[in-house]
Structure 1
């Protein structure tokens, strides 16, 4: 008596059904790709190119902010001279930036 009948809505009567819901996700995905995914992939490619180009006597900065001159390069490690007679070994991925020659004058 107090409860009215509820009728289910048909599938095709609201905005075109499943296809319209799918089409909403396409622009969202494209936006996410161009704003987040693509720049990150570009940075990774540049970082890999930097790691492959490391050579002896390059001046670099590590993740921790240590500046040093490369004295030895292996597949996964780099030996840096951070002061006269003081060398440290760091992973290649810890090198974040190569500096122009002559930036470090203390070594």
Structure 2
């Protein structure tokens, strides 16, 4: 679930490691990342709660899939019609053309 954290914040949730052993120690023994609001990014309370509950390390305390499907964040989108394709198109229309973009013209 840390990938959702990474997508939301635009950064990897753990510090850079010097070795695979540092990585293993951090992931297994360290505290899990926690999503929160900052000056740069604002998230809804429902989204923060959902991501953070999914990041619970202790499997016995982490909700199972059926319970996650009843989470208020998920339920909110069960009741809404969301145009993901339209959203992606609007974002892409705002991006500047670049040399690697198929729309780039010299």
Shorter-chain TM-score tier: under 0.3
More helix by share: 2
Larger radius of gyration: 1
TM-score (normalizing by structure 1):
0.21
TM-score (normalizing by structure 2):
0.22
